[in-house]
Amino acid sequence: MFFHRIQHRLIFVFVILVIAILLIGGWMLHWMIRQSLETELGRKLMAVARAASVQFEDEEIGFLIQGAGPRTAVYLRQQLLRLKASTDVKRITFFDLSGNSLLDTEESIVWGTPYFNLRFYRREMAEIKEGKSAYSVLFEGIDGLPTMTGYAPLYREKQIMGGIGVDGSVTFLDAVNRMRDRLYLIGIIGSCAAIGLGILMAGSITRPIEKLVKASRQIGKGNYTDPIQSLGRGEIGLLAGTMEEMRRGVIERERDLKAMLAGVAHEIRNPLGGIELFAGLLTDEVAQDVEAARHVDRIVKEVAQLKEIVDSFLIYARPQEPHREDCLLNDTVEEAAHLVEHQMRKNGIVFSIPEKNDSVHVWADPNHLKRIILNLMQNAIQALPDGGEIRIHWRTIDNTVSLFFEDSGEGIPGEIQEEIFTPFFTSRERGTGLGLSIVKGLAEANGGSIRLVQSDKNGTIFEVKLEKCGQT
């Protein structure tokens, strides 16, 4: 589910890309700096080793090779310690070609002690025997610290008698670890920055898309009142402009359709009035003829049905502006119910509303409110041809009154529930498909809304929300 949203995918791809760049770039930078530090440190250690070789006279080196006495050994070590202190290295050792100690800054190392570790530095020892300087690779010692040793040949009378080893200083070698830690820190900061930038970048793309999705849903629901804002000059802005043109075109076509519908309804209404008038006169003349009277009665009923359809067309095509005022909800519901009382009794429908003392005032146009209630009640009656129950009740939450219409019918099929508020959509043979559309328009014109709460085999529930009036 996480990758279903384009925002999450953009963030993921951007962050992974930046982290990969940071990791590869950091590793390469670390490698290059490490190589540079190793080379620089190796050169320094070799220079210190060569400097140590010229600190002693040939005679002193001869004493070292033959084994100097205690006083001489102390004197020579002091010289070596002064060189160690001045060059800031960790350790300096003198050894013969067999790898045995001649002199060491470590006091615990006595003359003739073999340096077993020199066995692992065959390349460096070979370089010494050829009279060349060398340095070892940088590695982690047994103390956990980075270690490197520079080597130079030890001469006496221009002959190679052994070698000099200089271990790198802890201070200098710690720079490698500090550099590595800083790179880690830069990587972490960079990754966090990548996440933040990814969120901002993805949001800059998805927020306009979400606005377009919201606008398209409103258009899909038949709400064309809110204009689609400009979203820049890019592709999304072009799409927004196209949708705005589409919205205006739909409004224009709907306006033309309503004008045409109103004109047709008005033209039909006039002859219907004449037909109704003459049918009434004809009823009196054929009162004695039962068969003729039955035909005339059928004409009157069909005319009444046509008038109801025409009235629905006119209400939809030319909705009146609401004149909102304080409306007592209980009284309005009773008035509407009285108009369909005969039809409910004929169908065997049980009708119920809250007690009279449960009165609530709403801020709405009284005629619109009555039309909303009447249309929803007629819908419920049509859903109960064989009897059932219709129940109207309401609930107040803060400044809103929720008016519920419940019936015990078989419900609205699930596949058409999203279409029921669309103009001219109907599942009945003789329906106009305007009843719920008119209710929706009237509710919204009065600052309210309508929604289908539930519809299944246990019945249907509609909720109409309206603004509560200040009175109680």
Q: Are strands 388-397 and 361-364 parallel, antiparallel or unpaired?
A: unpaired
The CATH number that applies at residue 352 is: 3.30.565.10
Is residue 159, in this structure, part of any structural domain at all?
yes
Residue 295 or residue 267, greater confidence: 295
The predicted structure's pLDDT at residue 402: 93
The CATH number that applies at residue 258 is: 1.10.287
Q: Looking at residues 130-134, what average pLDDT do you find?
A: 91
Residue 375 shares a structural domain with residue 293: no
Is residue 425, in this structure, part of any structural domain at all?
yes
Handedness of CA 416, 418, 420, 423 (dihedral sign): negative
* Lowest-pLDDT range of 164-168, 242-246, 256-260: 256-260
CB 105 within 8 A of CB 52: no
Residue 262 shares a structural domain with residue 329: no
Residue 155 shares a structural domain with residue 33: yes
Boundary of a domain, candidates 130, 156, 175: 175
Is residue 221, in this structure, part of any structural domain at all?
no
Residue 171 shares a structural domain with residue 269: no
The CATH number that applies at residue 8 is: 3.30.450.20
Residue 169 shares a structural domain with residue 304: no
Q: Looking at residues 190-211, what average pLDDT do you find?
A: 73
Task: Look at the chain and count its residues.
Answer: 472
Is residue 210, in this structure, part of any structural domain at all?
no
Residue 26 shares a structural domain with residue 148: yes
Whether residue 472 has pLDDT greater than 50? no
CB 332 within 8 A of CB 301: no
Residue 312 shares a structural domain with residue 333: no
pLDDT tens figures, 7-49 = 666 667 777 777 777 778 777 877 777 777 778 888 888 998 8
pLDDT tens figures, 89-124 = 888 999 999 899 998 988 888 888 998 888 888 899
Tokens (6 digits) for 371: 């039309």
| Residue 67 Rama label (left phi>0; alpha psi -120 to 50; beta) | left
Boundary of a domain, candidates 124, 143, 175: 175
The predicted structure's pLDDT at residue 270: 65
Residue 260 or residue 47, greater confidence: 47
Whether residue 256 has pLDDT greater than 70? no
**Residues of the chain above pLDDT 70, percent:** 78
Is residue 226, in this structure, part of any structural domain at all?
no
Domain residue limits at 458: 325-467
Q: What is the average pLDDT score of the chain?
A: 80
Whether residue 3 has pLDDT greater than 60? no
Residue 390's pLDDT band, with cuts at 50, 70 and 90, is very high
Q: Tell me if residue 352 falls in helix, strand or coil.
A: strand
Handedness of CA 425, 426, 432, 438 (dihedral sign): negative
Q: What is the domain count for the chain? A: 3
- The Cα–Cα gap between 124 and 132 comes to 9
- The Cα–Cα gap between 358 and 377 comes to 20
Residue 352 shares a structural domain with residue 312: no
Residue 24 shares a structural domain with residue 159: yes
pTM: 0.48
The predicted structure's pLDDT at residue 171: 58
Q: Looking at residues 46-65, what average pLDDT do you find?
A: 86
Is residue 249, in this structure, part of any structural domain at all?
yes
Which range scores top for mean pLDDT: 162-166, 197-201, 429-433?
Answer: 162-166
Is residue 6, in this structure, part of any structural domain at all?
yes
Is residue 214, in this structure, part of any structural domain at all?
no
Residue 289 shares a structural domain with residue 382: no
Count Cα neighbours of 404 within 13 Å in the Cβ-side half-sphere: 16
Task: Say which residue the tokens 């005032």 belong to.
Answer: 361
pLDDT tens figures, 338-382 = 988 988 988 899 998 887 656 789 999 998 999 899 889 988 898
Boundary of a domain, candidates 317, 348, 370: 317
Tokens (6 digits) for 20: 């990969």
